[in-house]
Structure 1
Amino acid sequence: MSRPPTWTPPPRTRATHLQTRRGRFAALDARPVGVPQGTALLVPGFTGSKEDFIALLEPLTQAGYRVVAVDGRGQYETDGPDTEEAYTQGELAADILAQAEALGANGAGGANGAGAPLHLLGHSFGGHLARAAVLLDRTPFRSLTLLSSGPAEVAPAQREKLKLLRDALTTMSMEDVWEAMRAMDAPTEETPTDGADLRRRWLRTHPAQLIAAGRQLCSEPDRVAELAAVQPLPKHVMSGERDDTWPVAWLDAMAVRLGARRTVITGAQHSPNTDRPAATAEALADFWDDAYWTTRTPKERRQ
């Protein structure tokens, strides 16, 4: 479970809802001073939420980007149905495309609205969803970043943990599962506030969403070749220097297969966005800057 360093949004960030043709999604919308040179849509991972990206918001807006982090359907402050069928990968990918449309996305290969170029980032499970969205329709997006998100199903040890969690969620209440997870956690130095916030997020997440996401993480096929064929679309594989969800060697190999930029954040593990946010934000902004100049549309070249 990602542990945001703070749950307080930085200056120039507002908690809001992104209204789309597929419903409302809770969001944090961070704006730079002046006209943004691009917009980034950030998709959280398993058991996560938009708050996982809080520490990235200020440095990315200082780099000139508008940043919108969302709760997916059934995650934390976004409502969702109680049936697993509502959380198939296709449904969640369609939600991302609707979010892009609502942001007035303008990708390298075409325009959906009149907005700024849209960069898509997915963390962990969110990376699989972002990949699925791009495979459905790449035109809204100027670039794709897969943050600590691997080529296919998670490592065997993680599959065992996810199976245990799925079994628990089908027979126990969210409160009971939370208490059981906390009892198994190694001691941490998190503050009581952090613990209360994590608990509130867990209890507000739909168990059907967690069960469906856990099942997908244990069965996701390798779609790297499909994604590599999506051109032109700059791709970025980021991770910490250690990762027990997808081994770093798997991520290295995936980046080669994709022809993607590869960034390893020193001192970070599965969540560079919370472990080393300044270094992560710097690498993202550098990639987005380069993606803009290499994929400008004819209209942008004339300006």
Structure 2
Amino acid sequence: MSRPVTFVPPPGARAYSLRTARGEFAVVDAPAAGGVEPRGVVLLVPGFTGSKEDFNPLHVPLAERGYRTVAVDGRGQHESDGPERDESAYAQAELARDLLAQAEALGEPVHLLGHSLGGQISRAATLVDHTPFRSLTLMASGPAQISESQQQRVKLLRDALAVMTMAQVWESIQAMEPPEETATAELDGGLDNREDLRRRWLSTKPAQLIATGRQLCAEPDRVGELAAVPLRFHVMSGVLDDTWPLVLLDEMAVRLKARRTVVEGAGHSPNTDRPTATARALADFWDAEAIRT
């Protein structure tokens, strides 16, 4: 489970519902910093069990580089509505169409960034229609299904959600969490942060978790299809990742002819582990793309 630093939007950012042709989606929208030449718009797509708040640490450093950043809750994720039990609403194709509608609502081509599950949804959207996007960054998001160990964890979660409420599953997760993880969470964000995480969990729709968890465990390798798309790609990760081994991310970058960034000191979530270094690498990539075009 991801652990955002804070659920409070940074100064200058605005939380609101983005109206699209496929409904409304909760976003945090941060403009480029005043006095800085605007460089473009970025759409940030969170991962499994995550939300738009996972990107809060990136908004300010990217604003200072001239980028407007819009982080979104997907359908049924945190503050975006969705059906409780209809898993078909969360098919990857449906989530990809949602993402295309979000990009259209922003009114101009965007740099697209997807973290983990969000990367695979972003890939699916790009394969449907790449024209709303200026580039695609896959952050800690691999070429196909997640690792065997993570598949086992997701299966346990899906089995639990089939017979337990979201509140009951949350309590079970907390009971199984090692003491050192609890201490780290309290150091990162305090007890208020843990309550924010609980509220996010309880507001996420169980069908969304079940359906997207199944996708993570069965995703095919579509890197060959993606490589044929006329976009520039960026593959980013931390130095450690137990969801997709780094060797798979390295190979994917080669197949995509992508820029490859490994963020020192970061794990599966460079956006929260090392936000300053992560933002610098992202802005450097997007700046280079602007020069090419």
Query: Does structure 2 conserve the Cα–Cα contact (< 8 Å) formed by 1:142 and 1:292?
Result: no
Alignment partner, residue 83 of structure 2: 81
* 2:126 paired with 1:134: yes
Query: Does structure 2 conserve the Cα–Cα contact (< 8 Å) formed by 1:121 and 1:146?
Result: yes
C-alpha displacement at 1:17, in angstroms?
1.0
Structure 1 segments of 4+ aligned residues over 2 angstroms from their partners = none
From 271, 276, 287, the equivalent of 1:273 is 271
Other structure's SS at 1:152 match: coil
| Structure 2 spans left out of the alignment, 5+ residues | none
Alignment partner, residue 220 of structure 1: 219
C-alpha displacement at 1:126, in angstroms?
0.2
Determine the C-alpha separation between the residues in 1 that align with 2:259 and 2:7: 30
| Number of aligned residue pairs | 283
- Give the TM-score, by structure 1 length: 0.92
Query: What are the equivalent positions in structure 2 for 1:50-199 lying under 5 Å apart?
Result: 50-82=52-84, 83-106=86-109, 118-187=110-179, 188-189=182-183, 190=186, 191-199=190-198
Determine the C-alpha separation between the residues in 1 that align with 2:56 and 2:173: 24
Alignment partner, residue 301 of structure 1: none
| Structure 1 spans left out of the alignment, 5+ residues | 107-117, 297-303
Aligned-residue CA RMSD (Å): 0.8
Query: Does structure 2 conserve the Cα–Cα contact (< 8 Å) formed by 1:43 and 1:126?
Result: yes
C-alpha displacement at 1:36, in angstroms?
2.4
C-alpha displacement at 1:81, in angstroms?
1.4
User: What letter is aligned with 2:197?
Assistant: L
Alignment partner, residue 229 of structure 2: 230
C-alpha displacement at 1:274, in angstroms?
0.4
Determine the C-alpha separation between the residues in 1 that align with 2:242 and 2:178: 16
Determine the C-alpha separation between the residues in 1 that align with 2:118 and 2:201: 17
Alignment partner, residue 6 of structure 2: 6
Determine the C-alpha separation between the residues in 2 that align with 1:86 and 1:230: 27
C-alpha displacement at 1:105, in angstroms?
2.2
Alignment partner, residue 286 of structure 2: 288
* 2:27 paired with 1:24: no
User: What letter is aligned with 1:103?
Assistant: L
What do residues 154-181 of structure 1 show as CA deviations (whole Å, max 9, x unaligned)?
Answer: 0001111111100000100000000011
Determine the C-alpha separation between the residues in 2 that align with 1:49 and 1:73: 11
C-alpha displacement at 1:11, in angstroms?
1.2
C-alpha displacement at 1:278, in angstroms?
0.3
Determine the C-alpha separation between the residues in 2 that align with 1:17 and 1:65: 20
More helix by share: 2
- Identity across aligned pairs (percent)? 65
Determine the C-alpha separation between the residues in 1 that align with 2:237 and 2:253: 11
Determine the C-alpha separation between the residues in 1 that align with 2:232 and 2:83: 34
User: What letter is aligned with 1:85?
Assistant: S
Determine the C-alpha separation between the residues in 1 that align with 2:94 and 2:271: 26
Determine the C-alpha separation between the residues in 1 that align with 2:105 and 2:219: 28
